[in-house]
Amino acid sequence: MITALLIGLPLIAALLLLFSSGEGAKKIALVAAIAELGLALFAFWFMRTAPRDEVYVHRMVMDVPWIQSIGVHFNVALDGISMVLVLLTSFLVPVIILSGFEKKYDNPSLFYTLVLFMQMALVGVFVARDGFLFYVFWELALIPIYFICLLWGGENRGKITFKFFVYTLAGSLFMLAALILVYINTPVTLSGTHSFEINALYDAGQHALTANEQTFVFFSFFLAFAIKMPVFPFHTWQPDTYVTAPTQGTMLLSGIMLKMGTYGLIRWMLPMTPDAFAVWGPCLVVLSVISVVYASGMAIVQKDFKRLIAYSSIAHVGLISAGILSFDVKTGTTEGLNGAIIQMFAHGVNVVGLFFIADIILKNAGTREMSKLGGIRNVSPQFAALFLIVLLGSVALPLTNGFVGEFLLLNGISQYSLWASAIAGTTVILGAVYMLRSYQVVMLGETNSTTSGFAALTGNEKAVLFIVCAAVLAFGVYPKPLLDIMQNDVNDLAKLITSNLTTH
């Protein structure tokens, strides 16, 4: 019930917004987003405290036949892993809407409709337990963001968003082919069709596929997720798209949408193809580590602040991906997975904060070129302080949320291979390089003509930044609630993978 409501609430709000108009749109959207956050928090509290009985199952799981002729069910369930990501989504969307409050959009009702529609699709991806439903939500998330970027984006948005769309779609179609292949190998159910239910798919993937088929499924899934995250060398769509999208669009993309890829790795790819993973996992870890180092290096030489953050996002996600892929199928240690999920949350919060900061800089100074800026601290010390907190979260200083995730991730990777973790660990150093250097260039030093007109932070901007900084510090100091809620389910998933490995 609750799960279905979590999907349904943004959808209904989106449809309502479609028929409203003008200025009220953003307020309605904010109220709907906060209501969704309340619902998510309630679900979180319920998950923590309620005994695992029938009432619990009835509230958290929903399984209704949708397209019986092909065995597709509307099957959604909340478990610990999904809860963290649903919390991330429902926390970030009100922040994103709030951050856009002072902007004047053409056709704001359509804009917020698309944002809420996207929220619905994102929550749907994170809670779907039916392969087909997962695919439908995955594609559904793409349409609103495409239109957001196309209608409100920056220069050259036609070509850039189109590249983004086709690139992502290509990966998704391969994932669909893989899903169909596994689906065909599930046993025929009582209703006369194969099944898309996740456990049936797991089973078929683990036991009913030949080695070649499993490899195909493995790589198709990885392609789809690698394009979404993105991982080198499938990242070329990302910097342009992030720069040309409107800030709220970039926040949605980097804060939540890319987590679809990493979530997919954990929930869909690893358990379905453990044998192929045991064979090919190592080379994909190498790919992720290359991605980390490459993106960090690229970030260092960027001149545009927003583009720098985009590359830093690739680096962070590369680390998450390496952590997930370094899962040891034989022993099943879960640090990497735990770290990945925590880091997904932390990275979402941090990157949204960073993009908002880039937006504030653009609004006040008229440019994001770092060489032209400088000395903003002198004119806006509050902004400088808040910027520094978010930056330190991104650099993974202890006591910030970034640290918890990175520590667990590097721990997990080091158990897999010390060399890999050493190279991946350079992301910490390189991250410090480009972030601190950008801070120094932009905020410290002499105030020049571009930056002297920097206005004080408005109430709205202060509110958003305070919320983000509070999240950075709170989850850095006390990540326990998040870690606790996902612990059991991560352990279960790990056991599922290791116990179904057929080759030893």
Residues near other proteins (CB under 8 A): 66-70, 135-136, 139-140, 143, 147, 150-151, 157-158, 162, 165-166, 169-170, 173-174, 176-177, 180-181, 183-184
Residue among 94, 106, 101 at smallest CA distance from 153: 106
Q: How far is the CB of 69 from other proteins (least distance, A)?
A: 4
Q: How far is the CB of 330 from other proteins (least distance, A)?
A: 32
Q: How far is the CB of 144 from other proteins (least distance, A)?
A: 12
Q: How far is the CB of 181 from other proteins (least distance, A)?
A: 6
Q: Are 387 and 357 in contact (CB under 8 A)?
A: yes
**Which of 181/433 has CB closer to other proteins?**
181
Report d(CA 434, CA 268) in Å as an integer: 34
**Which of 182/468 has CB closer to other proteins?**
182
Q: How far is CA 331 from the centre of its chain?
A: 27
Report d(CA 309, CA 319) in Å as an integer: 15
**Which of 135/237 has CB closer to other proteins?**
135
Peptide bond into 10 cis (omega under 30): no
Q: How far is the CB of 115 from other proteins (least distance, A)?
A: 17
Q: How far is the CB of 203 from other proteins (least distance, A)?
A: 18
CA distances from 179 to 87, 135, 187, 209 (A): 27, 9, 14, 12
Report d(CA 122, CA 137) in Å as an integer: 7
Report d(CA 239, CA 255) in Å as an integer: 14
Residue among 264, 377, 356 at smallest CA distance from 306: 356
Q: How far is the CB of 229 from other proteins (least distance, A)?
A: 20
CA distances from 416 to 82, 276, 286, 304, 332 (A): 25, 17, 12, 36, 11
CA distances from 289 to 38, 168, 318 (A): 38, 22, 6
Report d(CA 488, CA 492) in Å as an integer: 6
Cβ count within 10 A of residue 275: 20
**Which of 142/465 has CB closer to other proteins?**
142
**Which of 176/286 has CB closer to other proteins?**
176
Largest CA distance in the chain: 74
Helix (H, G, I), strand (E, B) or coil at 65: strand
Q: How far is the CB of 67 from other proteins (least distance, A)?
A: 5
Q: How far is the CB of 169 from other proteins (least distance, A)?
A: 6
**Which of 104/504 has CB closer to other proteins?**
104
Q: How far is the CB of 113 from other proteins (least distance, A)?
A: 12
Helix (H, G, I), strand (E, B) or coil at 75: strand
Q: How far is the CB of 66 from other proteins (least distance, A)?
A: 8
Q: Which two tokens stand for residue 98?
A: 């709030």
**Which of 225/356 has CB closer to other proteins?**
225
Q: How far is the CB of 57 from other proteins (least distance, A)?
A: 26
**Which of 22/51 has CB closer to other proteins?**
22
**Which of 22/459 has CB closer to other proteins?**
22
Report d(CA 104, CA 166) in Å as an integer: 30
**Which of 50/184 has CB closer to other proteins?**
184
For residue 271, count CB atoms less than 10 angstroms from its CB and return exposed for 0-12, middle for 13-18, buried for 19 or more.
buried
CA distances from 377 to 380, 443, 464 (A): 5, 5, 19
Q: In this structure, what are the phi and psi dihedrals at residue 503, rounded to the nearest 5 degrees?
A: -100, 135
**Which of 183/202 has CB closer to other proteins?**
183
**Which of 67/455 has CB closer to other proteins?**
67
SS3 of 461-480: HHHHHHHHHHHHHHHHHCCH
